[in-house]
Amino acid sequence: MRRYVMVLLVALVLTGCGSAEFPELDGSLLGDGSTAVYGVFRDGTRVAEVTMSVSREAEGWSFRNVTLADGEILEEATVKADGEFRPLSGHVVIRTSAGEYDIRTQYSGRRVIIEAETPDGSQTIKRTAKEPYVDNDQLLNLIRTMPLGEGFETRIFLVSPKTATLVDARIKVEGLEEVRVPYGEFTAYRVALIFEIVEQTAWYSTEGHILLKYYNGATTLELERLE
């Protein structure tokens, strides 16, 4: 009986141990960086604006996402990554009616330390991530560096400091589509983002892998400006 229990426990742990490799990434697709502004639409109404920036720094990359609504910043997220896009640190500030959440994350190998200042007090969470992983706020820009094409599929773990969760994510090109957004009309890869049991969709231009549109099940982001 004890043997069966041990086998079961090992099997359970192994189910959570992916053996996926970090996908081959092409940083040249990002150039020296870019800033893209997206309108956030819910039921056809523009409810907010998201600015996504990526920039090359001395020893790596910086990813920054800012969400604005009614002229106020609701959320600011910054991720610093090394030259191979592995996250080094993250900082998220979320402003809600309940107060401000300030979340700082340190990445060191597989070790992840999340320190949060919340209206309910401070909290420190230490976890060991599974490889390969990236910070959630890197993902949409990081996909731009992947070898998108017919049949492309990869698996990666997402660390979400806001919820202190590790999510098994699959990224899969489902095909080509013509996409019209305020910035223009493009031929795009339709990319499925499968986060365990939640599926979202993003569209990347075939030329330059620009994120054109993103649908998370409730709201849609559409590219309006690109610098």
What single-letter DSSP state applies at residue 96?
A: E
Residue 25 found at the interface with another protein (CB under 8 A) = no
* Chain centroid, CA 90 distance in Å: 12
Residue 194 found at the interface with another protein (CB under 8 A) = no
**How many angstroms separate the CA atoms of 168 and 157, rounded?**
5
Quick one: 20 or 29, whose CB is closer to another protein? 20
From candidates 111, 149, 196, 208, binder to another protein by CB under 8 A: 196
Please state, as a whole number, how many other Cβ atoms lie within 10 Å of the Cβ of residue 198: 11
Shortest gap between Cβ of 19 and another protein (angstroms)?
Answer: 12
Shortest gap between Cβ of 12 and another protein (angstroms)?
Answer: 5
Residue 1 found at the interface with another protein (CB under 8 A) = no
From candidates 102, 117, 131, 168, binder to another protein by CB under 8 A: 168
122, two tokens: 């401070």
Residue 132 found at the interface with another protein (CB under 8 A) = no
Please enumerate in sequence order all residues whose Cβ is within 8 A of that of 147, keeping only pairs 6 or more positions apart, or say none: 23, 24, 26
Instruction: List the one residue out of 62, 82, 195, 68 whose CA is nearest residue 141.
Output: 62
Which residues contribute to the site for another protein (CB under 8 A)?
A: 8, 11-18, 125-130, 164-166, 168, 196-198, 217
